[in-house]
Structure 1
């Protein structure tokens, strides 16, 4: 007798078979379906939600128009970083646990037009290590007629994102559509880094800002061989880099 769980898994596989990358992962999919159908369905649902999110982004916004260059450019260590004390009194919370600090940080930002998160120290260290090797990279952002490429650049504890069209024209004076700041005040003793991302609401919205932040983690933290290879190609052999390979990665199903 076929159980409802088995029927759901069979239907999920039928959908997966439509994916051009199915053959590559067929053996892993079959094994996971056999050993843990609940986990298999959970992963399929998670991937489905991500795809739907990308599709909704693609429907909502056109490509960015050329923006004006930044004014009053500042340089140097932390020139544009707002101190953490503006958002959280370090002395007040320094004796709290990591979980308590995390809760305060997220609650403070929940009603504000920014994105925020906490990053485990080990993951942040991996990101910094990779950023030192590859400080500049591209990310695809879904648009109504395809994808728009966004340039990201690491600078000390910040990551600056700007539309490629603006970067090509204005270079270092290109205006950011998103600036992610990582606060490391609690990294050593609490094991967490506080992340805050401010975005230009005339260029992207909160959902798009979160999409870029998620991709930042995927490429700089997870050490996926295919993603690492693409980043290295972009940096060290740019003549071999293909933008379409970047788009394939964001659309590839990976269980």
Structure 2
């Protein structure tokens, strides 16, 4: 026979089970709904693709101003048009970059991931049979031809100055774009001292307008003739000083062959736009190999075709260079002082430097 306590326990147990089932039934739909929402909004992103795209956009934003400027200079309406015009070149560069050199064989599969504790290969042996040739090539500046590439110095050493000058001019006669000159050592030393103080300067190139209808413009020692000058182009020049190409003098011996100097002429507008990357249109070199034996400095140079300057105009710039840098030996009086003053003002950044005075002084006869 069941007691009252047994009935009470049974009733409580049934009520507890009913409450548990009710809680379970209430919680289960919420969990299912939450899982459905998560599945509905879940996405898989290609993290590598997103990162690459962001880096490309950052690089494009960083150089956007330069790209827009280049597009404007080349006549394109937008950067996309510029990229489209360089599309083939970009593909060619990418294709070239992915090709392995012929002399480097591909690594075998077994050596693709060497051990971290493997010993590195021994360094290649250093050749010891040509130390003199290596020393001589390191003393020369790249891109500068030594005087021995033009003349046989052993034979020239026995010639007189007039013969050296004749051979030097004859050596450049067949090249229509070449420039050459023979400078006395005293004159060059004055130019050299001025160049050390003023390694950069500007020179004018008059642009006359012909009035005879022929369009011909002639040049004389006093400047350009054939019409009144309408304007003048300004050209930027820069000196460079390099080690001598020949063998060094004996210890304790006094020698004037202490260097090889160069001068590069560039359009001033191009230099302002591209800076040191601007391409020069005229380059000259002073060789001092015969300075001790003959007292002569040989000048060689060339004008690059297609850069807006003719050979006659290159000679005009050389005459202007000598007139300003050899102000002590070229002319005298007020003209000498004015040329020296213009050099000093330009080198010091004086605001009173006047291009009109520069053009007038360049065209002055004395």
Please tell me the TM-score bracket, short chain as reference.
0.5 to 0.7
Q: 2:235 aligns with which of 130, 133, 150?
A: 150
User: What's the counterpart of residue 291 of structure 2?
Assistant: 187
Q: Which runs of 5+ in 1 are unaligned?
A: 1-65, 67-75
Cα 1:208–1:169, aligned 2, differ >3 Å: closer, same or farther? same
Q: Which runs of 5+ in 2 are unaligned?
A: 1-72, 74-138, 209-229, 242-260, 329-335
Contact 2:236 2:267 in 1 (8 A): yes
Correspondence 1:247 to 2:359: yes
Whole-angstrom distance in 1 between the partners of 2:190 and 2:142: 24
User: What's the counterpart of residue 205 of structure 1?
Assistant: 310
Whole-angstrom distance in 2 between the partners of 1:191 and 1:171: 37
User: What's the counterpart of residue 234 of structure 1?
Assistant: 346
Whole-angstrom distance in 2 between the partners of 1:185 and 1:117: 14
For 1:1-255, what aligned pairs fall within 5 Å after superposition? 78-113=141-176, 114-144=178-208, 145-156=230-241, 157-202=261-306, 203-223=308-328, 224-254=336-366
Aligned positions, number: 181
> Normalised by the size of structure 1, how large is the TM-score?
0.67
Higher relative contact order (CA closer than 8 Å, sequence separation 6+): 1
What stretches of structure 1 move > 3 A for 4+ residues in a row? Answer: 251-254
Judge which range, 146-155 or 238-247, deviates more. 238-247
Cα RMSD (Å): 1.9
Cα 1:196–1:253, aligned 2, differ >3 Å: closer, same or farther? closer
Q: CA deviation at 1:77?
A: 6.1
Whole-angstrom distance in 1 between the partners of 2:288 and 2:197: 20
Give secondary structure in 2 for the equivalent of 1:201.
Answer: coil
Q: CA deviation at 1:252?
A: 3.4
Structure 1 or 2, whichever has the larger Rg, is 2
Contact 2:201 2:237 in 1 (8 A): yes
Judge which range, 196-205 or 113-122, deviates more. 196-205
Q: CA deviation at 1:103?
A: 1.0
| Cα shift readout 1:216-242 (whole Å, capped 9, x = no counterpart) | 110111322110001101111432211
Cα 1:198–1:234, aligned 2, differ >3 Å: closer, same or farther? same
Whole-angstrom distance in 1 between the partners of 2:301 and 2:143: 13
Whole-angstrom distance in 1 between the partners of 2:165 and 2:157: 12
